[in-house]
Amino acid sequence: MSVAATVTDETEDWNTRHRAEGPLNRADRNFAELLQELRVVFTGVQILFGFLLTMSLSERFKELDAMQHALFVATLAGAAASSTLIVAPVAAHRILFQRNRKRELVRAGHRLAMAGLGSLALTLAAGLMLVLDIAVGRLAGIVGTAALLGATVVLWVLFPLYLRRDARAAPALADPEA
């Protein structure tokens, strides 16, 4: 038996014992949780995307140098990509509605959400670099962007991995989905 199958079996057993939840109920709950997370993220992405669309219409936009124009295009493209990736699980759900594919949808939705968050992290970095470059200079933009990327890696990747490792240290109390 593979390690993945063992983990899946243990997770199913845990859900049955502690949540009185079977695999289909679990898939429904997991998809609902995923959609709630995406709702939170998508609002911010929409605001950023809308702001970027209006920025190109401002008078100051014409004064940007080549690097700033490239940062603007990268930020706009990143916001569009983030929006597309974050909305993709909802579109997939509409297409797969009532076709008994919720478990696959949860797995694919998770991957799309992770890709959307990665795209969002790069979009935020490019946007910060652009604004700091315009407002206070290129060096400040580079330093500020490096700090943001560092904080993002710590808070979005390392901290959750630490929590996951800590949960595995006390398996009797841990939620196997964590």
Q: Where are the domains of the chain?
A: 3-169
Distances (CA, A) of 102 to 26, 153, 169, 176: 10, 30, 31, 19
pLDDT value of position 57: 87
Residue 121: pLDDT over 70: yes
**Is a pLDDT exceeding 80 seen at residue 14?**
no
**For the segment 83-106, what is each residue's pLDDT rounded down to a tens digit?**
999 999 999 988 888 888 888 999
Question: Could you tell me if 144 and 128 are in contact, meaning their C-beta atoms sit under 8 angstroms apart?
Answer: yes
Which amino acid is it at 3? V
Contact 79, 123 (CB under 8 A): yes
Higher-confidence position of 48 and 28: 48
